Chains A and B, each alone.
Chain A
């Protein structure tokens, strides 16, 4: 699965938690979940859990700490999918 595909799927995962809906269509790998999309930091945990079930992966504490930008979320998802493959 390529990064473009994951990014477009990630939009659906982020949508329920995103205050700044207008920005969601134009997200890039550099988009910051908290600063740009105005996501409540406590909801990052829900996003991680949703991503886990979407991709059938398990995200550990150290990986979760990196997931504050769209690009770093994709990094972790790709990394974990490769591990479980």
Chain B
């Protein structure tokens, strides 16, 4: 039932890192993603030794923990600080502070749990953790982002 929100994510194919949303409310979100064996970054990172790059781990955490929750808050929230979700808007990561504890290999399924720190004036800040299939902590950090309205072109 929570997966309806995935249609609103502005990512496609090789850069969509959300499979399932397990829970979602105004205070947080839990979701999963399974790393694909054929993902574009494994061929080069590293040669003959595929390991999920930290930037991809960070992106998975941001997409599930920040973007999914942020869109939920914007479309569903009735906060007075609510901002409009215009067509052509997109999420911008404004700050991350992440620590990595374990490697993630191709085919692994990871679970991301995000807790809202605050959502004010259009900025969402969350405390986000990622665990692997064995329940071990893979990464954790503090993430912040905003939804940016697309720049409208003049003379259109």
Contacts and interface: CB of A to CB of B under 8 A. Distances in A.
B118 interface: yes
Contacts of A42: 94-95, 123, 144-146
Main secondary structure, interface of B, reads: strand
| Residues of A in contact with B, size category | 10 to 19
Nearest to B117: A49
A24 to B, nearest CB: 20
A40 interface: yes
Interface in A14-73: 40, 42-46, 48-49, 61, 64
Given A61-B80, A61-B81, A45 B121 contact: yes
Main secondary structure, interface of A, reads: helix
A40 B94 CA distance: 8
B120 interface: yes
B123 A45 contact: yes
A61 B95 contact: no
Contacts of A40: 94-95
Contacts of A61: 80-81, 121
A44 B94 CA distance: 12
B121 A64 contact: yes
Interface of B: 80-81, 94-95, 118, 120-123, 125, 144-146
9 contacts: A40-B95, A42-B123, A44-B121, A45-B120, A48-B120, A49-B118, A61-B80, A61-B81, A64-B121
Interface of A: 40, 42-46, 48-49, 61, 64
